[in-house]
């Protein structure tokens, strides 16, 4: 079993990774000097509750000689916060203490100036003479992966040689430039408390992240049917589009008179006009003759006729002796299938057809509402 006295620290031992060394050294050190090529906020968060016991932490980061180094490090820190939220601690527990530590001077951060700096070392200044100072020198950057996950090669020192390492650090520290303020700005932005409205706006942004902005532009400027829809019908249309992307199909199960036919027309226009797909509408014979053919002829005339990419078929026509052959033909042609029976009694359905079958996968979700018709558009129009 690995022990604190082991000479090589490579993160392969579950109980004694580089992180454990630094945490325990925080209990007996007045100060810790860290040299690193890269710095990520996850390292401080992994040490939360331990680093606060140290009177002073100095962090020396590698960089080039130009002024943009501070900006580059700040940008890298901002990126590391995003990574930490996604793969580490979503709530960045302890980031407030890091901000306070930088403000108070307990944490001081500098970037190496004269040459590219790529050293990695953790050098302590012990509170206890009987224990003495120690150091870990090797390949571990001051990042969560560098301290806990990556296979590294670090060597532990404890003895007279630590004084030489302390002198080495002082030399490079004196030549480095302070970057506390640049990094503090990044941390303060991520540590501050957000208002309920900001949380709502962020959630709304995430909810609509997959909406194609070109689709929104088309709906507002070029679509014939979209301006005719009541807000709840627009919502139903967007929900069906999202369902089809996720599960290859979906149901809109509004009650009688709430305009499923109009939503169906919108879906037809969206796929046939906006995305130039071949759309197949399956209906009863009555629905074909009394609803879909007249509605297409009146509202979307460019999609009506034998040269259109929209085809209306009565499902009873497919039960004839030639039905099987036609089903196979339609399966090869149709990109989108829109089944429908009586337009006022059954759900509007959308399915994505494959190249080898006329029936897409069974829809995995449906949407059900019982809203009244919009007062701006009489139910009879829908």
Distance between CA atoms of residues 376 and 382, nearest Å: 12
Q: For residue 343, name the pLDDT band (cuts at 50, 70, 90).
A: very low
- Condensed to tens digits (0 to 9), the pLDDT of residues 254-294 reads 778 788 899 999 999 999 999 999 999 989 999 999 999 99
Residue 14 pLDDT > 90: no
Nearest-Å Rg of the Cα atoms of the chain is 33
The pTM of this model reads 0.53
Residues of the chain with CATH 3.30.870.10: 8-192
Q: For residue 198, name the pLDDT band (cuts at 50, 70, 90).
A: confident
Greater confidence (31 vs 317) lies with 31
* Average pLDDT value for residue range 348-370: 39
Give me the chain's average pLDDT, please.
82
Q: For residue 376, name the pLDDT band (cuts at 50, 70, 90).
A: very low
Q: Among the CATH numbers 3.30.1130.10, 3.40.50.720, 3.10.129.10, 3.30.870.10, which is that of 8-192?
A: 3.30.870.10
Q: For residue 179, name the pLDDT band (cuts at 50, 70, 90).
A: confident
Percent of the chain with pLDDT over 70: 83
Residues of the chain with CATH 3.40.50: 210-381
Residue 222 pLDDT > 60: yes
- Start-to-end C-alpha separation, the chain: 75
CB 47 within 8 A of CB 19: yes
* Average pLDDT value for residue range 190-196: 79
Give the model's pLDDT for residue 341.
53
The residues, ordered by sequence, that sit 6+ positions from 131 with a Cβ below 8 Å of its Cβ are 28
- Condensed to tens digits (0 to 9), the pLDDT of residues 117-170 reads 899 999 999 999 888 999 999 999 999 999 999 999 999 999 899 999 999 999
Domain 210-381 has CATH 3.40.50: yes
CB 141 within 8 A of CB 36: yes
* Average pLDDT value for residue range 208-215: 72
Q: For residue 364, name the pLDDT band (cuts at 50, 70, 90).
A: very low
- Condensed to tens digits (0 to 9), the pLDDT of residues 87-122 reads 888 888 899 999 899 999 999 999 887 678 899 999
Give the model's pLDDT for residue 360.
28
The arrangement of strands across the sheet holding 336-339 comes to 310-314, 279-283, 336-339, 348-352, 249-252, 366-367
Least confident range of 70-74, 181-185, 214-218, 249-253: 70-74
Residue 310 pLDDT > 80: yes
């Amino acid at each position: 079993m690995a022990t604190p006295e082991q000479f090589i620290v490579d993160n392969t031992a579950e109980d004694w990774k580089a992180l454990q060394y630094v945490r325990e050294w925080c209990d007996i050190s007045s100060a810790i000097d860290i040299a690193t090529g890269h710095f990520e906020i996850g390292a401080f968060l992994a040490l939360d509750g331990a680093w606060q016991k140290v009177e002073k932490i100095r962090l020396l980061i590698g960089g080039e000689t130009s002024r943009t180094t501070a900006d580059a490090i700040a940008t890298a820190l901002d990126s590391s916060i995003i990574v930490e939220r996604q793969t580490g601690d979503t709530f960045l527990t302890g980031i407030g203490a890091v901000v306070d530590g930088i403000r108070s001077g307990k944490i001081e951060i500098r970037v190496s100036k004269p040459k590219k700096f790529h050293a990695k070392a953790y050098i302590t200044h012990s509170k206890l003479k009987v224990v003495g100072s120690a150091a870990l020198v090797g390949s571990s950057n001051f990042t969560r992966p560098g301290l806990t996950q990556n296979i590294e090669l670090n060597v532990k020192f404890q003895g007279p040689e630590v004084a030489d390492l302390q002198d080495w650090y002082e030399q490079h520290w004196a030549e480095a430039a302070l970057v506390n303020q640049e990094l503090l700005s990044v941390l303060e932005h991520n540590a501050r408390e957000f208002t309920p409205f900001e949380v709502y706006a962020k959630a709304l942004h995430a909810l609509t992240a997959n909406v194609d902005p070109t689709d929104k532009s088309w709906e507002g400027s070029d679509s014939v049917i979209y301006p005719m829809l009541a807000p709840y019908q627009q919502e139903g249309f967007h929900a069906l589009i999202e369902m089809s992307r996720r599960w290859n199909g979906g149901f809109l199960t509004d009650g009688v008179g709430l305009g499923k036919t109009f939503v169906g027309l919108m879906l037809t226009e969206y796929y046939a006009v906006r995305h130039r797909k071949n759309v197949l509408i399956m209906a009863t014979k009555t629905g074909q003759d009394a609803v879909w053919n007249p509605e297409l002829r009146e509202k979307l005339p460019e999609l009506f006729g034998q040269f259109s990419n929209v085809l209306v078929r009565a499902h009873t026509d497919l039960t004839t002796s030639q039905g099987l052959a036609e089903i196979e033909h339609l399966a090869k042609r149709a990109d989108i299938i829109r089944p429908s029976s009586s337009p006022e009694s059954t759900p509007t359905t959308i399915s994505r057809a494959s190249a080898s079958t006329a029936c897409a996968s069974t829809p995995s979700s449906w949407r059900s509402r019982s809203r009244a018709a919009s007062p701006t558009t009489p139910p009879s129009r829908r």
